């Protein structure tokens, strides 16, 4: 919404009508004052012209005021749109950089999944080997599969990368994208939280923390995008 208020100008104006009757009254008052107080200085022309009511400003043309207001409003809106467009581009660049960093982290974790799973399996087998009794191999493998499934983060990483790709696609649109980006930030944050809660390795835990920091930075920037 926009509001426009008009106020009478306090500055002298070139347009207006001189009020002879008002000038005559002032002259009579000035003469009376000088008669009572001969040492009083006579009124100057400037003092007479500045006296209230001596000059009455011409009435403004309402249509002219409307036309001027429309021109000013159009200029203001155009300037505001240009400013917001520049801000949006800058924010888009900042978000895009963090998207690239998030992808680098997620792909780095993906490349380690085989190694992480092998290490987890080895540690578990070492613990079993230290038991007094030897468990059934079939049962052991079944339990191992269940435990690995609980700590498997491959699906979270896949969804994370999909959301990052969609974020880049949305940033490339020439339309208001604030709400869509806000939704994507929520999805990214959800996947990063799940990644951290299911993590069974220090590397994935650290990656989850780094991802959440970057996603929070993007979320704050998205709040300023329409």
pLDDT digits (tens, 9 = 90+) for 202-214: 888 999 999 999 9
Q: What is the pLDDT of residue 104?
A: 97
Q: Do 66 and 100 have their domain in common? A: no
State pLDDT tens for residues 184-204: 999 999 999 999 888 778 888
State pLDDT tens for residues 121-140: 787 777 777 776 676 777 76
Q: Do 60 and 167 have their domain in common? A: no
The domain spanning residue 167 has which CATH number? 1.20.140
Please give the Cα distance from 177 to 226 (Å, whole number): 6
* 79 falls within a domain: no
Q: Do 100 and 200 have their domain in common? A: yes
Is 80 exceeded by the pLDDT of residue 73? yes
Average pLDDT over residues 129-156: 74
pLDDT category at 47 given cuts 50, 70, 90 is confident
Is pLDDT larger for residue 114 or for residue 144?
114
* 157 falls within a domain: yes
Is 70 exceeded by the pLDDT of residue 21? yes
Contacts of residue 217, Cβ cutoff 8 Å, sequence gap at least 6: 98
200, exposed or middle or buried, with CB in 10 Å at 0-12, 13-18, 19+? middle
Provide the residue count of the chain: 226
Q: Degrees (nearest 5) of the Cα angle 219, 221, 226?
A: 100
Average pLDDT over residues 54-67: 74
How many C-alpha atoms does 205 have within 13 Å on its Cβ side? 5
Q: Do 121 and 154 have their domain in common? A: yes
Q: What are phi and psi of 180, to 5 degrees?
A: -65, -40
Q: How many domains does the chain have?
A: 2
Q: Do 65 and 97 have their domain in common? A: no
Q: Do 36 and 109 have their domain in common? A: no
CB atoms within 10 A of CB 7: 5
Expressed as residue numbers, the domain containing 209 is: 92-222
* 165 falls within a domain: yes
Q: Do 111 and 206 have their domain in common? A: yes
Q: Do 111 and 191 have their domain in common? A: yes
Q: What is the pLDDT of residue 170?
A: 94
Average pLDDT over residues 41-48: 82
């Amino acid at each position: 919404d926009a509001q426009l208020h008009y106020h009478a100008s306090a500055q002298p104006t070139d347009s207006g009508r001189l009020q002879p009757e008002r000038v005559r009254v002032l002259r009579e008052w000035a003469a009376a004052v000088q008669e009572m107080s001969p040492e009083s200085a006579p009124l100057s022309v400037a003092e007479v012209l500045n006296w209230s009511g001596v000059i009455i400003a011409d009435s403004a043309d309402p249509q002219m005021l409307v036309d001027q207001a429309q021109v000013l409003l159009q200029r203001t809106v155009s300037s505001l749109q240009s400013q917001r467009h520049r801000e949006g581009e800058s924010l888009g660049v900042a978000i895009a950089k963090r998207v690239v960093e998030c992808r680098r982290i997620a792909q780095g974790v993906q490349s380690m999944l085989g190694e992480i799973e092998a290490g987890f399996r080895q540690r578990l087998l070492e613990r079993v080997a230290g038991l007094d009794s030897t468990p059934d191999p079939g049962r052991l493998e079944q339990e191992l599969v269940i435990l690995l499934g609980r700590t498997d983060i491959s699906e979270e990483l896949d969804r994370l990368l999909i959301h990052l790709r969609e974020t880049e696609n949305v940033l490339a649109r020439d339309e208001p994208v604030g709400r869509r980006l806000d939704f994507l930030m929520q999805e990214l944050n959800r996947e990063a939280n799940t990644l951290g809660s299911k993590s069974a390795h220090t590397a994935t835990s650290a990656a989850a923390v780094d991802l959440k920091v970057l996603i929070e930075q993007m979320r704050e920037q998205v709040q300023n995008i329409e």
